[in-house]
Amino acid sequence: MIHLGLFVAILLIQSCSLDSVKPQQYYPIENYKLNLFQGDILSKWNFIGENRKSMSRQLVRKAFDLLEDEIKSGNANSKSKKKSSTVSENTIKKQKMLNSKEKKNKKFKKMKSPIDKLNLFQGDILLGNGTFDMDRFAVPHKSLRWPDGTVPYILDDIYSDSEKELIRSAMDEFEKQTCIKWVERTDEDSYVEIFNDVGCYSDIGRTSGRRSLSLESPICMSKGTIMHELMHALGFLHEHSRADRDDYVDVVWDNIVDGRQSNFEKYRPSAIDTMGLDYDYRSVMHYEPYMYAADRNHPTLKPSDHQVPLNQLGHGQAEGVFTDLDIEKIKTFYEC
């Protein structure tokens, strides 16, 4: 077994070079912090070391911040603390100082909008400068539709060619199966700007002017994640928050990460139109079962019907495919 001190030394040396490397894995929508932190302190530290080259610089810094906070708060169990005694606060502080020096040397831009400071509802719905008004987001409202299902968009040039191809591939799923068309913006007043900010989030539907849609690289670069955010841009909310969801799924409130309970709140019956469609466990707009789980060995959402497999929750998002009900929902709302 490699001595932890040697591993830390190797990790610190590796951190001196954060050259761009094509990521080998991506992190699911809205849950990137939790996917970094599974198990005890030592396993979390090892995860960062093993995956830092496939993580954005912002995410690496956020990871060290979260790990340091956990050590300080004493949330780790005694076994974890014993195993990770050599992974001290001082070690993490040194790593953060090294990241800071690297940032200065490479003239990294200061992160202006960390995900936790954004005004987001349910993790990825951008509210702008206002507060959440359920009636304002009584989706689907026809006023939020894009005329003729045509959505002008701008795609940030910062994305690599392969990332642009992936984003357009997600758009193609809409065009192949529905009447939605994504077109590059010319001079349209209302449009969606897709950019590389911190996190995965989107405005809801069309209003006058620019609409924001963030796809941070690499954590948001999965087809299902992109399709999910594009659905928000079209005017759709989360399936698991339907007013009737308690008839279909059980929320394990005690296992939700503190501060994320609002992500599982239900919409009022008057606030959302289900268009008479059945509840869709597999929808690209449904959370996966372990979303925001404090204990990753146990889910936060479980089907009420025990004959429905747990892995069916959010299957469409996980696999990057629309369900039949997703397609029917789009066609019904956009009358195509």
Each of the 336 residues of the chain gets a pLDDT tens digit; together they read 444 444 334 344 344 433 333 333 333 334 443 344 444 455 555 555 555 555 555 565 666 566 555 555 554 443 444 444 344 455 555 455 555 544 444 433 333 333 333 444 444 454 454 434 443 333 456 788 999 999 999 999 999 999 999 999 999 999 999 999 999 999 999 999 999 988 888 988 998 899 999 999 998 999 999 999 999 999 998 899 899 999 999 999 999 999 888 889 888 776 667 888 999 999 999 999 999 999 999 999 999 999 999 999 999 999 999 999 999 999 999 999
Tell me what percent of the chain is helix, strand and coil, each rounded to the nearest 5: 40, 10, 45
Tell me which H or E stretch contains 213. strand 210-215
Which backbone phi and psi does 213 adopt, to 5 degrees? -145, 110
**DSSP label at 67?**
H
| SS3 state at 277 | coil
pLDDT for 14 equals: 43
Annotated ligand binding at 232? The verdict is: yes
Q: Which of 268, 260, 283 is nearest to 120 (CA)?
A: 260
Q: Are 219 and 59 in contact (CB under 8 A)?
A: yes
Q: Are 323 and 284 in contact (CB under 8 A)?
A: yes
The reported pTM is 0.63
What's the rounded Cα separation, in Å, for the pair 283 and 279?
Answer: 9
Token digits for 313? 């929750």
User: Which residues participate in catalysis according to the annotation?
Assistant: 229
Annotated ligand binding at 238? The verdict is: yes
What's the rounded Cα separation, in Å, for the pair 168 and 53?
Answer: 25
Annotated ligand binding at 286? The verdict is: no
